[in-house]
Amino acid sequence: MDDLKKFIWNMPKAELHLHIEGSLEPELMFALARRNKVEIPFATVEEVRDAYQFSNLQDFLDIYYQGMSVLLEEQDFYDLTFAYLTKMHEQNVIHVEIFFDPQGHTDRGITFATVIAGITRALSDGLEKYGITSNLIMSFLRHLSEDAAFATLAEALPYRDRIIAVGLDSSEMGHPPSKFARVFEKAKAEGFLAVAHAGEEGPPEYVCEALDLLKVDRLDHGNRALEDAALVMRLAESQIALTVCPLSNYKLAGVTDMRAHPIKKMLELGLKATVNSDDPAYFGGYMNENFEAITESLNLTKEEILNLARNGFEASFCSDTEKQAMISRLEAYGA
């Protein structure tokens, strides 16, 4: 395993499913709470980490939205994003596609402009200092209304050149993709690509809706698609990528034993599965820790590891030329 760990660590990788607010480590949460004079209900970093015990998605989301309350100024969003990029540089991640949840901030009185300025300034520094390329995805909170999503889309239009896609996240059960079909139709007409969390906790029907009604270019999670054989065939034929998040699935109890994690099965079924961290500060690991966990529990070979990394580059929203350059780097590494 030590040899494989080293192989994973040094391998060039892309991350396609990362909520920037979910990369807020307890240490930075405390520092920002102090800087901004925000009260948080924890006395120590250890207390924060101890609170990260989740039995489902909603348990996590309650703590995740509370954690965001320390983010107030443009510099806070910069520090958050740059800390993540520094970590990715250490882990040999060369391309990232990052979600942000504007409604988690605008609903607290922070302007859309503040959020996007801090994040995009860090992304351009990440390119300059680390050579990490990036794309930004704006997610709608699905527990909020269609009207609220439309208003958020309108706020995003002036920043159209900095946002590559729209996404859909937050509480899945009871908030099917169909609720946002019209918003996604408008977003697509405005030139955004589309992704959506589907089949994380929700049934295979939600995955079908994400494909048919939201016309997603990529699916986030998609685990429960495996319950529907026809859907599996459709995903295999279309090669729509799944951004799978192994440690997240484990921490949110969608998968109770990592040895039963479905990612290896997905590959065997011909699905384009990728490895991602989702909310690494909350789920116990970034990209390399996710690769390590599945490699260990599923006995993955170097070939399977390389295959997953290649899928990450292929499923990115980069141009074909950019994808080919990254894949060539991976191939050179594998050889």
Closest approach, Cβ 102 to Zn ion, in A, equals 15
Contact residue for ligand ADE among 13, 19, 87, 310 (CB under 6 A)? 19
**Residue 4 or 173 having the CB closest to ligand ADE:** 173
Count of residues that bind ligand ADE according to CB under 6 A: 11
Give me the least distance between CB of 169 and Zn ion, in Å please.
6
264 binds, among Zn ion, ligand ADE, none (CB under 5 to 8 A by kind): none
**Phi, psi (degrees; rounded to nearest 5) at 101:** -110, 85
Among 87, 197, 272, 310, which residue interacts with ligand ADE (rule: CB under 6 A)?
197
Number of residues that bind Zn ion (CB under 5 A): 1
| 8 A C-beta contact, residue 51 and residue 132 | no
CB neighbours of residue 174 within 10 Å:
9
Instruction: Say if residues 153 and 183 touch (Cβ distance below 8 Å).
Output: yes
* Position with the least CB separation from Zn ion: 278
Q: Does the protein bind ligand ADE through residue 25 (CB under 6 A)? A: no
The residue (of 54 and 326) whose beta carbon lies closer to ligand ADE is: 54
Q: Which is nearer to Zn ion, 19 or 310 (CB)?
A: 19
Look at residue 74 and give the partner it binds from Zn ion, ligand ADE, none, a contact being a CB closer than 5 to 8 Å depending on partner kind: none
User: Do 100 and 119 touch, CB atoms closer than 8 A?
Assistant: yes
Q: Which of residues 263-302 bind Zn ion (CB under 5 A)?
A: 278
Region 47-86 residues binding ligand ADE, contact defined as CB under 6 A: 57, 64
Among 74, 76, 278, 292, binds ligand ADE (CB under 6 A): 278
Contact flag: residue 201 with Zn ion (CB under 5 A) = no
Q: Which one, 97 or 278, has the nearer CB to Zn ion? A: 278
Minimum CB distance to Zn ion smaller for 197 or for 264: 197
Catalytic residues: 200
Identify the residue among 133, 135, 170, 243 touching ligand ADE (CB under 6 A): 170
Start-end of H helices in 101-145: 103-106, 112-130
Full DSSP string of 209-258: HHHHTS--SEEEE-GGGGG-HHHHHHHHHHT--EEE-HHHHHHTTSSS-G
d(CA 92, CA 329): 12
| Residue 97 lies near ligand ADE (rule: CB under 6 A) | no
* Paired residues of 138 in beta bridges: 100, 166
The H or E element that residue 259 is part of is none
User: In terms of CB distance, is 87 or 197 closer to ligand ADE?
Assistant: 197
Within 10 A of 324 (CB to CB), how many other CB atoms are there? 13
Considering only residues 13, 16, 22, 330, which one is a binding residue for ligand ADE as defined by CB under 6 A?
22
Give the long-range contacts of residues 177-180, CB within 8 A, separation 24 or more. 177/206, 177/209, 177/210, 177/213, 177/214, 178/209, 178/213, 179/142, 179/146, 180/140, 180/142, 180/146, 180/149, 180/214
Cα within 13 Å of Cα(196), Cβ side? 30
**Should residue 169 be labelled a site residue for ligand ADE when binding is judged by CB under 6 A?**
yes
Residues near Zn ion (CB under 5 A) are 278
Residues near ligand ADE (CB under 6 A) are 19, 22, 57, 64, 169-170, 197, 200, 248, 278-279
